[in-house]
Chain A
Amino acid sequence: MSTVETLTFRSRHDYSSSVVGIDIPVGLKIGDGRSVRLLAKVDTGAANCIFQRDYAEQLGIDVESGERKTFGTAVGSRFDAYGHTVTLSCLDWEFEAVVYFAVPRDYSRNVVGRSGWLDRFRLGLIDHDLTLFLSHYDDLS
Chain B
Amino acid sequence: MNRPKPTFWTGCHGVRLADCALDVGQVSGTPLLDAEVRIEAVTDAPGVELWRLDMDVVTAEGVVSVDQRLYRQPDGSTLVRSTSGQSVAVDAPTGRIAVDGRDDGVRLQLLTTFGLPLVLAEAPVLIVHASACWREGGAVLICAESGRGKSSALVGLTAAGWRAVSEDLCVIDLRADPPVVWPGPPWVRRAHGLAGPAGSAPRFDTPDKTAWDIAPWQVDGPVELSQLVFLDQAGGSDVVDVAVSAPEAVQLLARHALWLGEPDDRGRRLFGPAVDLAARLPARRLRFPVSDLWLDRLLEVLAPGGVARRDGAL
Partners in one complex: no
